[in-house]
Chain A
């Protein structure tokens, strides 16, 4: 767990703040305190914020951000399932926003406190998973696709086939480690929706994977990019941003979103129910939606930002990179993963267990 706390710089504001907080604690009941203490507990993915974003926010507002890291949505969800341990702001992916909404785990946002929402691009002002963005603000978006070592694979067609249904790269293939994505894309390859709940579609995907298993080297838990770099595999299913980060160091590596389409995702800023510092959370969301702050983050982590004002500040190297921004044609074929109820979650995970045991 990484804790982030900028150095304490005594200035008038923080001294005054400390004094009021102290006064509040000693003489007044909690509810009457005028302002929140200057703290924010942020629960985020690793390497998913600008280099100086937290410092900049601290300098602008005096709020100290403590950032904890999670490795995947399941970890985030499991941590908050039995109650919020004190986080003010979390970054779930769209299907988990949906799931947490159903479970009543998210607090509504007050749009009046987020004037910078006007910086969001036209496509991001509403969301199917959270109509009206009442509980979530898009933070970054991207795709799942195929990273490959072009020098060792040669020119290949943009298809899922090489991963799911071919022995051309036998023993040099890695797929992601979570069942929902691996089975979902198998369904996509077979021409179905990756959100299909039809047992026959899930079965077909399961059988496709079991047949292909002997050619797959490993179901990698989000380290397919490392396997590509170390030469362990030549072709890997991965999140676009992960491949992008290693493409910068290795010219042989390349990325595509298959023509069959794939998964498109949005990670969102949300306030979990019971957040102790909701005002600070709003302030931080607003800060991230600022053009300069947003540009600094996007430039550093190399994911696609929904913040149009921030995007405008970045050069062609970012804006014209097809691995960050796939063509509209490709995006049109991609699907969001939907939250389809606990029964579907069970069916997918059972199928995944059978694939692994086969």
Chain B
């Protein structure tokens, strides 16, 4: 930092493209949405206008979102589904990250590539692929039926009844886990990779069981990776709408779907903006929680 202060010109040259980008493509649009959230549809000649919005600094949009329990119910449900998906991601990704970081040097890049590979395919297409996997006549049910028949269970209990895997909350959670898994694996991998292996050996040598070593040495030391992973998965889950749209059943609406609808079918941008900002405040709350947790961890250390 000190050297940057001495070489101001270099500092500004390097910082300006990024700052420009942030200002015009992030902060300005965000400011517009923020202002819209205090607006209402303009009334022209006694009729509510279809396209014109007036910024009247009304709080009506926020009142509407908070007073009608339906929106809080949906936000709560979104938090709940996102949390479940995030925890599942953690449980599945931790061993995966562990295996990758303990794999031989030759294999590591390939294993990491396998984790990142799905990113090369569009989210929409991956989600449609899940439909083919989960549906009544999908690959999961085909496989189960094959096993069922191979074990002659059909002669005992009658023909195989396909499982209803699609168009319910299970499908939404599974879809979110599938889509956001790499966001969990990569930070975990980064922190497990940095783990000092001699610590584990010391713990085991001093008589701690494998379980105790894991819980009291490995987990605390990889906590930064765990927290980053949780945040990186939870936040995009909370705002997602495509997964619920394509895989969800009749009550799989997440807050992202409601916001999308305000901007499209309902044509109510001010209200959609207010909902977006409420969602952002929830996210801020969670980030604040994270800051609090890391500060606690630091004081303990």
Residues of A within 8 A of B265 (CB): 74, 178-180, 345, 349
Report Cα–Cα, A203/B18, bound state, in Å: 51
Q: Are A353 and B48 in contact (CB under 8 A)?
A: no
Residues of A within 8 A of B164 (CB): 171
Q: Are A217 and B250 in contact (CB under 8 A)?
A: yes
Interface check A232, CB cutoff 8 A: yes
Segment of B85-93, B104-112, B225-233, B256-264 engaged in the interface with chain A: B256-264
Q: Are B250 and A213 in contact (CB under 8 A)?
A: yes
Residues of B within 8 A of A349 (CB): 261-262, 265-266, 268
| A99 nearest CB neighbor, chain B only | B50
Interface check B276, CB cutoff 8 A: no
Q: Are B70 and A221 in contact (CB under 8 A)?
A: no
Report Cα–Cα, A186/B262, bound state, in Å: 22
User: Which of B47, B137, B253, B267 is within 8 Å of A231, CB to CB?
Assistant: B137
User: How many residues of chain A have a CB within 8 Å of chain B?
Assistant: 37
User: How many residues of chain B have a CB within 8 Å of chain A?
Assistant: 34
Q: Are B249 and A218 in contact (CB under 8 A)?
A: yes
Q: Are A357 and B264 in contact (CB under 8 A)?
A: no
Report A103-114 CB contacts with B as 1/0, cut-off 8 Å: 101000000000
Q: Are B50 and A342 in contact (CB under 8 A)?
A: yes
A231-B137, A357-B73 given; A218·B267 CB < 8 A: no
Report Cα–Cα, A221/B251, bound state, in Å: 14
User: Nearest-CB distance from A76 to chain B (Å)?
Assistant: 10
Residues of A within 8 A of B261 (CB): 349, 352-353
Q: Which of A326-358 contact B (CB under 8 A)?
A: 341-343, 345-346, 349, 352-354, 356-358
Interface check B136, CB cutoff 8 A: yes
Report Cα–Cα, A353/B250, bound state, in Å: 11
Q: Is the interface of A mostly helix, strand, loop or mixed?
A: helix
Q: Which of B70-95 contact A (CB under 8 A)?
A: 70-71, 73-74, 77
Interface check B166, CB cutoff 8 A: yes
Q: Are A232 and B166 in contact (CB under 8 A)?
A: yes
User: Which of A78, A82, A358 is within 8 Å of B251, CB to CB?
Assistant: A358
| A358 nearest CB neighbor, chain B only | B251
Q: Which of A79-122 contact B (CB under 8 A)?
A: 81-82, 99, 102-103, 105
A103-B50, A353-B70, A357-B74 given; A78·B249 CB < 8 A: no
Q: Which of A169-213 contact B (CB under 8 A)?
A: 171, 177-180, 213
Interface check A216, CB cutoff 8 A: yes
| B47 nearest CB neighbor, chain A only | A341
Interface check A56, CB cutoff 8 A: no
Report Cα–Cα, A122/B20, bound state, in Å: 59
Q: Which of B214-264 contact A (CB under 8 A)?
A: 245-246, 248-251, 253, 257-258, 261-264
A81-B51, A342-B48 given; A217·B249 CB < 8 A: yes
A217-B250, A232-B166 given; A353·B136 CB < 8 A: no
Q: B interface vs A, CB < 8 Å?
A: 41, 47-51, 70-71, 73-74, 77, 135-137, 164, 166-167, 245-246, 248-251, 253, 257-258, 261-268
A-B contact pairs, 30 of them (CB 8 A): A77-B267, A78-B264, A78-B267, A81-B50, A81-B267, A82-B51, A102-B47, A105-B51, A178-B265, A179-B265, A213-B250, A213-B251, A217-B167, A218-B167, A218-B248, A218-B249, A230-B136, A230-B137, A342-B41, A342-B48, A342-B49, A342-B50, A345-B266, A345-B267, A346-B266, A349-B265, A353-B74, A353-B261, A356-B250, A356-B251
The 4 closest A-B pairs by CB, nearest first: A74-B264, A349-B266, A356-B253, A103-B50
